[in-house]
Amino acid sequence: MVAIASKHKSLALLGGVLLAQILMLAVQIKRDSRGRLIRVWAISAAYPFERGGAWGYGKVRGVWTHYFALQTTSRENEALRMENDALKLTIAQLQSRAAEADRLAALLSFKQSHQEVPMAGARVIAASAGTASRTIEIDRGERDGIRRNMAVITPDGAVGKVIEVYRDSAQVLLLTDKDGGAGAMLVESRIQGPVGGTGDPTMLMKYVASEEKVNVGEKIVTSGMDKIFPGDIPIGTVMEVKAGYPFKQIRVQPAAKLDQLEAVIVLLTQAPVEFKKDADTQNAQTGAQPSEPGAQNPAARAPAAAKKP
């Protein structure tokens, strides 16, 4: 028993002494590119633990991040959702401004192409409070030269007339109002008759004899006979024709978008206005020479010629 204990003791001593000398050797030995051997051994011995530690830390962190730290994720999600809503709102505002810019650009283009006609651009600031009437309020008034019964149009067509004028604003009665209307004329057949509102989004053309031939899709323009609207301003398109006696029932789709009005033009005169076609408007925008009035629409040329002395 004593011998066995002594043997183990000497073995332990042998191991310790050898280990100490090996370490001493390792401290002295220097490998060419990897530094001292003791450093190589130390790094090699520590590498598995370091790698294991890094792996374990990554796993623990991953579990924490993906499973336990969802509170932060939830907050981030909520913040992102709010940011997304704000961005949507911003986009909607920008789209609205872009549309408004388009409309204003169209108005400006129209004004530039009709520089000989005195007119004033106006912004729609209010609409009728109830459904009984179809009116709008614009931000131009007496100080801007606005007077009652002046025609209000858009580049698309006739809108209505001024019915009340205040110092800095005015009220416009739309063509679609029950009391609204304008002297009109079918472009192709040259048949004249007043167009008035019914309180609906559409209008009616009245007093067209039942024997007259009216086609659906036919254009209607102002006749100039009402002393409010100059001639040849688009009013709308025939959308439905019903037989009647003694007059036809002709339903008209307004040319101007009367339910989406944001900017309008007030004609400051009742002198005849030559309402140019799109091509002419584009030519005016690009600086090209406009074509001869009525050259593209022989039907429109007739009343203009008829008005000339």
Enumerate binding residues for another protein (CB under 8 A): 3, 6-7, 9-11, 13-14, 17-18, 21-22, 24-26, 28-29, 31, 37
- Kindly tell me which of 38 and 124 has the beta carbon lying closer to another protein: 38
Q: Are 224 and 266 a contacting pair, CB within 8 Å?
A: no
- Kindly tell me which of 45 and 80 has the beta carbon lying closer to another protein: 45
Phi, psi of 195 (to 5 degrees): -110, 130
- CA-closest candidate to residue 150, choices 166, 177, 172: 172
CB of 46 to another protein, least distance (A): 19
For tokens 């986009």, the residue is 91
- Kindly tell me which of 29 and 305 has the beta carbon lying closer to another protein: 29
Give the span between the Cα atoms of 263 and 88, in whole angstroms: 25
CB of 34 to another protein, least distance (A): 10
- Kindly tell me which of 29 and 209 has the beta carbon lying closer to another protein: 29
Question: Which amino acid, one-letter code, is at 243?
Answer: A
- CA-closest candidate to residue 207, choices 247, 236, 168: 247
CB of 1 to another protein, least distance (A): 9
Report the SS3 class of residue 138.
strand
Crossing angle of helices 37-63 and 2-28, in 10° steps, is 90
CB of 28 to another protein, least distance (A): 4
Q: Which tokens sit at 45?
A: 């011995």
Give the span between the Cα atoms of 255 and 195, in whole angstroms: 12
CB of 8 to another protein, least distance (A): 10
Give residue 117's Cα distance to chain centre.
Answer: 31
Give the DSSP H or E segment for 220: strand 219-222
* C-alpha distances out from residue 12 to 3, 7, 35, 273, 298, Å: 14, 9, 30, 118, 121
- Kindly tell me which of 13 and 209 has the beta carbon lying closer to another protein: 13
Helix/strand number for the chain, H first, E second? 5, 14
CB of 73 to another protein, least distance (A): 53
Residues 6 or more apart whose Cβ sits within 8 Å of residue 72: none
Give the span between the Cα atoms of 184 and 233, in whole angstroms: 9
- Kindly tell me which of 26 and 304 has the beta carbon lying closer to another protein: 26
CB of 42 to another protein, least distance (A): 15
- Kindly tell me which of 20 and 306 has the beta carbon lying closer to another protein: 20
CB of 15 to another protein, least distance (A): 10
- Kindly tell me which of 10 and 112 has the beta carbon lying closer to another protein: 10
